Structure 1
Amino acid sequence: MGRSQEPFSKKEKENKKQKKKQEKQEKKEERQANSKKGKSLEEMMAYIDENGNISSTPPDPARMKEVSLDEIQISVKKQEEEEEGSSIRTGVVTFFNESKGYGFIKDQKTQESIFVHVNGLVDPVKEHSKVTFEVQMGHKGPNAVGVKLLK
């Protein structure tokens, strides 16, 4: 059987510990020597120009534009709901599993895939059928309801 690589005497363990401590101290001193402490406030300052870009020079006061607080938008605009008359959409059934009772319809206008459950069907559908439907928001996203075949 082979011997373990660990030192077996107390003295060797102590020497190894001292060596590690010394290496750590040397690394610390090297980091401190290479650090860029002591920069002046001017060297650390960053400015934003009239186009919104970061620069090291202060902006020209003559180029400044007055902005009203009402024009500043912090959040994303809410999507406007479609009109009631245009709530009926058309699409093509891309997938439908009759045994499990669900599928997906690809909306012709937005090209998004919308989930459809057998409970939302008015007429029986198959894959590649053209249909009209309405969209309701469900727990996991948009669901197609009132699905009818186009004739």
Structure 2
Amino acid sequence: MAIGTVKFFNLDRGYGFITNEAGGPDAFVHITAVERAGLGSIKEGQKLSYELETGKNGKTSAVNLADAS
């Protein structure tokens, strides 16, 4: 699992981005992944562990989120 910090998350729009501590591109995160993890919401600066998954549309997003604080 990757570890990263929430760079941005807009609850109204239902998406945001996580910056990976190991470097590389930021990971897109959708509200459905947050809800599936039982987190309710995530906040800028929060540390999370996550996995990357490629969807049917070919885009990569963060899934299996867990608080890593």
* Corresponding residue of 2:47: 130
**Higher relative contact order, chain-length normalized (CA < 8 Å, sep 6+):** 2
Deviation string 1:24-72 (CA, Å, 9 cap, x unpaired) is xxxxxxxxxxxxxxxxxxxxxxxxxxxxxxxxxxxxxxxxxxxxxxxxx
TM score, norm. by length of structure 2: 0.82
Alignment of 1:1-150 (within 5 A): 88-121=1-34, 122=37, 123=39, 124-138=41-55, 139-150=57-68
Shift of 1:140: 4.7
**Unmatched tracts of structure 2, length 5 or more:** none
Provide the C-alpha distance between the structure 2 equivalents of 1:109 and 1:141, rounded to a whole number of angstroms: 20
Larger radius of gyration: 1
Runs (4 or more) in structure 1 with deviation over 6 Å come to none
Question: For the aligned residues, what is the CA RMSD?
Answer: 1.3
Between the two proteins, the alignment pairs up a number of residues equal to 64
The unaligned stretches of length 5 or more in structure 1 are 1-87
Q: Please give the alpha-carbon distance, in whole angstroms, between the structure 2 residues aligned to 1:90 and 1:142.
A: 16
**1:113, 1:140 → 2: CA distance?**
16
SS across alignment from 2:6: strand
TM-score normalized with structure 1 length: 0.40
CA distance in 1, matches of 2:24, 2:4: 9
